[in-house]
Structure 1
Amino acid sequence: MAKIALITGATSGIGEACAHTFAEQGYHLILIARREQLLEKLAETLKQKHQIEVKKIQADVRDKENISYVLETLPAHWKEVDVLVNNAGLSQGLDPIDKGNTDDWDTMIDTNIKGLLYVTKAVSGWMVERKKGHIVNIGSIAGKEVYANGNVYCATKHAVDALNKGMRIDLLPHGIKVTAINPGMVETEFSIVRFKGDTGRAKKVYDGLEPLIAQDIADAIWFVVSRPPHVNINDMLIMPTAQANGSIVNRN
């Protein structure tokens, strides 16, 4: 039987690239995303191109009751998830702490931390029953260091970094792998979302340098997932060549 990968935030950026990559490898997919039309289009494309099965879940990972319900009511064969990619995440705003928007803070905390936990709780339970599985959490350079005006976003990704370590300890007796993938600058919808649709400001983030693209991260995720059973890549930090850390880049 083909393996199954569950991907959150599946209709754009890293999530979408992962969906294509895993489909190319013959995985059946559970795709979770908020935007129904994009979800329908992606699922149809993947099914036709790769002859795989796709289970679509139109949901927001922040909605604890709904996301728990839709996962727990999946048919039994769809609960045999081999790989979970916790990709859903975002940043809102880029303000100093005294000028921060508390609604933005709630959105980041609810998505990046709590949403990841809601999905992981359900899926890790299935993996524990089967004594196998691999959880890949998408973090960030912002989870390794803090940069100016990144305050709450950096805090959420530091929390994900801690959760990676905690999950790895808790799930070790059950043979479940946990990998952290921490990208630097990746040109996706990330900056457009951060700046709330201001495409001009978002574009300036990448001026004068060549950032990573979503497929670079999907390739890294496939690399860690495809290692032999006795090998786990605990933590991977991936930067464009033009970036040294969270705040220092080389712009031509």
Structure 2
Amino acid sequence: MAKRFAKEGAVLLLCSRSIDKLNILKLQLEEEYGAKVYTYELDVRDRKSVDEVIDNIPTELKNIDILINNAGLALGLDKVQEGDLDDFDIMIDTNIKGLLYLTRKIVPMMVINQKGHVINIGSLAGIHAYPGGAVYCATKVAVKFISDGLRMDVVDTPIKVTNIQPGMVETNFSVIRFHGDEQKASKVYEGIKALEADDIADVVLYTASVPEHVQICEVTITPTNQATGGVVYKK
């Protein structure tokens, strides 16, 4: 998404826990697209850190047009009764609370500026539950309903709210889910042509590029051979 928006001339404020990787990306975007890129080390689970980062953005950059809440993860595939409570906490704190912290901080600026677009990265898991994914699925249901509720709360403003709901996307998602087990993660995508990060970025850019009077509320995207979280055809 950073590459897509940089190519279109956007000024980027990128936040991540992995500041070293972010700074490498910053150099790439500046060299390839001549983009203006600012990077911030941020764990969205830490409300004080969210406040500090946003409060210290230079005044001339606080006219934020688009907020993309992309931080999110799944951990484990255990049954609820057998799951790791620390994993539960991390998923809830990142996928729900982190999204809320940034939304609560930035949307008031958008209201003052009378323009803005909040794009939340939800999941197909927010529509269809699957075995071993109850808590993760619940967090993505929350993303859907926070998006729907926010859209109602700003209906008297020009602010748009979009919820993007991808199915299987081959990124480091499964590596994180399986706590770094790359071999186990790779098996998730065997026998199916999964979506790629670029596919999601294309859709996000499109939702942000439609005319001012058009709001794309929700987009669900799956690979051709996936129907729901649990209905997948693999060769």
Task: Specify if TM > 0.5.
Answer: yes
The one-letter amino acid of 1:96's match is K
- CA-CA distance at 1:159 after TM superposition: 0.5
> Are 1:199 and 2:178 an aligned pair?
no
Q: How many residues align?
A: 235
Match of 2:206 among 211, 223, 231: 223
> Are 1:124 and 2:107 an aligned pair?
yes
Give secondary structure in 1 for the equivalent of 2:154: helix
Match of 1:158 among 137, 141, 144: 141
Structure 2 counterparts to residues 1-252 of structure 1, below 5 A: 18-252=1-235
Structure 2's unaligned 5+ residue stretches are none
- CA-CA distance at 1:37 after TM superposition: 1.1
C-alpha distance after superposition, 1:169-219 (max 9, x if no partner): 111112100001000000000000000001111011011010000000000
- CA-CA distance at 1:78 after TM superposition: 1.2
How far apart in 1 are the matches of 2:62 and 2:30? 19
Kept in 2, the 8 Å contact 1:72–1:122? The answer is: no
C-alpha distance after superposition, 1:51-110 (max 9, x if no partner): 121111111001110111110121111111111110010000110011010000000000
Give secondary structure in 2 for the equivalent of 1:104: helix
How far apart in 2 are the matches of 1:127 and 1:137? 16
Structure 1's unaligned 5+ residue stretches are 1-17
Kept in 2, the 8 Å contact 1:90–1:190? The answer is: yes
Give secondary structure in 1 for the equivalent of 2:155: helix
TM-score (norm 2): 0.99
- CA-CA distance at 1:46 after TM superposition: 0.7
- CA-CA distance at 1:48 after TM superposition: 1.6
Moved more, 187-196 or 41-50: 41-50
Give secondary structure in 1 for the equivalent of 2:219: strand
**Residue of structure 2 equivalent to 1:10:** none
Task: State the identity as a percent.
Answer: 46
